[in-house]
Amino acid sequence: MKLNPHDEALINNLKDGSYGALMPIEPDQLPDREAYCAIVCGDGVRRKETTSHLRSITGCNCDHTIALPGGASLLAPESPLSDEATRKVLLEKGVAQARKLQGTKTVLVTAHLPCGAAYDAGITGVQLIDHIVSAKHQIRLFAAQHNISDITPVGLLDVEFSDGKKRTYVIKREGWEAWKQENATRQIAAE
Residue 104 · residue 36 · CB < 8 Å: yes
The smaller minimum CB distance to Zn ion, of residues 3 and 41, is found at 41
**Least gap, CB of 59 to Zn ion (angstroms):** 25
Residue 85 · residue 68 · CB < 8 Å: no
Find the farthest-apart pair of alpha carbons in the chain and give their distance in angstroms, rounded. 54
**Least gap, CB of 111 to Zn ion (angstroms):** 7
**Least gap, CB of 191 to Zn ion (angstroms):** 34
The smaller minimum CB distance to Zn ion, of residues 58 and 110, is found at 110
Beta strands in the chain (DSSP E): 22-24, 35-40, 62-67, 106-113, 152-160, 166-171
List interacting residues with Zn ion (CB under 5 A).
Answer: 41, 43, 115, 117
- Output b/e per residue, 10-30; b: 16+ Cβ within 10 A: bbeebbeeebebbbebeeeeb
The smaller minimum CB distance to Zn ion, of residues 52 and 185, is found at 52
**Least gap, CB of 1 to Zn ion (angstroms):** 9
